[in-house]
């Protein structure tokens, strides 16, 4: 173990300087107590920088064509291009970092796609197709995938609470939309996708409680220190 000749203390690990006086330590160092975190490789950083340069360069070209060269009044199509590119770059950044878990990433992607769908529907005047059809379809597919992933993932115990919260959040969403009369606000044919989404939510939640109830209970006790 290294020691500081000035402070007279012993310092574990493989550091070279005293944490008190910042003078050089003497003696034989020890192995680090914790493994060093793996950073992003230089190749990945360079690749991300290249993607960032090409994507933003393409956005600039679109903005020039849209705002400068077009003379007649029109809807500025370069704005949704910018929104889509920024969303894609954020996803690429998360994937390149490599430090994420499946449930968290899937929920983040789901929320991002929902926001993009609503924005596209509003910008291009698609008549509410995002809320009436696209969003309930995405929510239902996400719940089914999370339900299946819960039984094939060997680390389900560590992520049990995440699956539970995902199903509850997605299951409440149809109630919120219908309660505040978003879209039609009626249980007619246009509301059928949301009814199916709610049914999938209840069934998947019931399956998690029946088949993984004890695991969920233990995870709640552990995270809430009960």
For the chain (226 residues), the mean pLDDT of every run of 10, in chain order, is 83 79 82 64 88 96 88 86 94 79 75 90 87 84 78 59 67 68 51 81 82 74 67
pLDDT of residue 1: 75
**Any alpha helices (H) in the chain, and if so which ranges?**
42-63, 78-97, 102-124, 129, 135-152, 160-179, 192-223
Question: Measured between alpha carbons, how far is 161 from 154 in angstroms, rounded to an integer?
Answer: 15
Residue 55's nearest CA partner among 93, 108, 9 is 93
Give the tokens for residue 224. 């809430």
Domain ranges of the chain: 1-36, 42-99, 101-226
pLDDT of residue 32: 64
pLDDT of residue 101: 65
CA triple 192-130-65, angle to 5 deg: 165
Q: What is the Cα 128 distance to its own chain's centre?
A: 25
Compute CA distances 75 → 49, 72, 87, 124, whole Å: 31, 10, 21, 9
How would you class 208 by CB atoms within 10 Å of its CB: exposed for 0-12, middle for 13-18, buried for 19 or more? buried
Question: Measured between alpha carbons, how far is 141 from 200 in angstroms, rounded to an integer?
Answer: 9
Scan for tokens 């005047």, then name that residue.
125
Give the tokens for residue 49. 């920088």
Question: Measured between alpha carbons, how far is 172 from 162 in angstroms, rounded to an integer?
Answer: 15
pLDDT of residue 185: 44
Residue 3: in which H helix or E strand, if any?
strand 2-3
Residue 114, number of CB atoms within 10 A of its CB: 18
Which DSSP state fits 36? Answer: P
pLDDT of residue 165: 66
Residue 161's nearest CA partner among 95, 216, 222 is 216
pLDDT of residue 14: 72
Question: Measured between alpha carbons, how far is 32 from 11 in angstroms, rounded to an integer?
Answer: 11
């Amino acid at each position: 173990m290294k020691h500081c000749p000035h402070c007279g203390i012993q310092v574990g690990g493989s550091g070279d300087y005293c944490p008190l006086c910042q003078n050089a330590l003497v003696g034989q160092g020890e192995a680090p107590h914790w493994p060093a975190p793996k950073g992003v490789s230089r190749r990945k950083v360079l690749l991300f920088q290249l993607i960032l340069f090409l994507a933003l360069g393409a956005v600039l070209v679109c903005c020039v064509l849209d705002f400068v060269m077009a003379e007649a009044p029109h809807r500025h199509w370069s704005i949704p291009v910018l929104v889509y590119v920024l969303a894609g770059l954020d996803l690429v950044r998360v994937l390149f970092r490599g430090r994420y878990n499946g449930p968290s990433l899937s929920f983040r992607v789901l929320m991002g796609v929902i926001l993009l769908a609503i924005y596209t529907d509003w910008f291009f005047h698609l008549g509410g197709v995002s809320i009436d059809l696209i969003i309930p379809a995405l929510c239902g597919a996400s719940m089914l995938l999370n339900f299946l992933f819960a039984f094939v993932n060997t680390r389900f115990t560590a992520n049990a609470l995440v699956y539970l919260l995902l199903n509850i959040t997605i299951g409440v969403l149809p109630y919120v939309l219908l309660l505040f009369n978003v879209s039609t606000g009626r249980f007619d044919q246009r509301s059928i996708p949301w009814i199916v989404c709610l049914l999938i939510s209840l069934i998947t939640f019931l399956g998690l409680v029946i088949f993984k109830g004890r695991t969920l209970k233990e995870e709640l006790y552990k995270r809430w220190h009960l």
